[in-house]
Amino acid sequence: MKITKIFILTWFLFMVQFCFSLDSLNTMKYAIGFGTALNTNLYYFPIKISDNLRIEPEYQNYKSKNDRYFEKNEYLDFEIGTGIFYTDIENKVLIYYGIRLGYRYNLEKHTTSEYSDKSYIFGPAIGGEYFLIDRFSLGVELKYGYGIVNVKKIINELTEKYTRRGSETKARFFMRFYLF
């Protein structure tokens, strides 16, 4: 995980020299980019559709295994979604607000138990980006998500299934690079 973040950060810094010779984001008719959240392993793919409209698919995948002594643990966290945003750019600051929709799957396996949930998440999001150079930005997003969660628990071969509803608020710090 840390190696992936270091690789992405190095790649972004390498591309900085490329960015200085390119047009600014607000003069481009269309733009496609890549970004990563700095506090999670979430990846964004912003696509500028028009001057004030952007869609932004997102993807997250985390998997770990731990075998120690007589206990085996496995953890999987997968999320895929998209955002639809109204954008406004002024000088080096881009503000956006809209809605994020997504699907999340979590799985946690232990030697004698298993827990999994499937979530459908939707809710408003607002964020801002500051462009350090023409095509490279740092930003923050605040998201409120309402979810419908289908849960399955297995403990010593006893299965329990139920549905719950809930909400969460998340803050994400990110960096984005716009290719063209």
pLDDT digits (tens, 9 = 90+) for 39-73: 788 999 999 998 899 999 999 988 887 776 666 78
Q: What is the pLDDT of residues 113-167, one digit of tens each?
A: 888 888 998 999 999 999 998 889 999 999 998 988 888 888 877 888 888 888 8
Confidence at 3, pLDDT banded by 50, 70, 90? low
Q: Which of 87, 81, 91 is nearest to 53 (CA)?
A: 87
Instruction: Give the model's pLDDT for residue 17.
Output: 44
Instruction: Give the model's pLDDT for residue 111.
Output: 74
Instruction: Give the model's pLDDT for residue 110.
Output: 79
Q: What is the pLDDT of residues 94-105, one digit of tens each?
A: 999 999 999 999
Query: What is the DSSP code (8-state) at residue 135?
Result: T
For the stretch 79-112, what's the b/e string if a residue is b when 16 or more beta carbons lie within 10 angstroms of its beta carbon?
bebbbebebebeeeebebbbebebebebbebeee
CA pair distance 75, 50, nearest whole angstrom: 40
CA pair distance 83, 172, nearest whole angstrom: 14
- Residue listed under structure tokens 């109204």: 86
Q: How many domains does the chain have?
A: 1
Please, what is the average pLDDT of the chain?
Answer: 83
Q: What is the CATH number of the domain that holds 154?
A: 2.40.160
CA pair distance 158, 81, nearest whole angstrom: 32
Q: What is the mean pLDDT of residues 29-48?
A: 86
Q: Which of 128, 138, 65, 130 is nearest to 98 (CA)?
A: 128
Q: Which of 35, 39, 75 is nearest to 59 (CA)?
A: 35
DSSP lists the bridge partners of residue 139 as 129, 174
Long-range contacts made by residues 5-11, C-beta under 8 angstroms, separation at least 24? Answer: 5/36, 5/41, 8/36, 9/175
Domain hosting residue 52, numbered range: 2-178
Is pLDDT at 2 greater than 60 in this prediction? Answer: yes
In degrees, rounded to 5, the angle at the alpha carbon of residue 6 between the alpha carbons of residues 93 and 79 is: 70
In degrees, rounded to 5, the angle at the alpha carbon of residue 165 between the alpha carbons of residues 74 and 104 is: 40
Phi-psi region of 157 (alpha: psi -120 to 50; beta: other; left: phi over 0): left
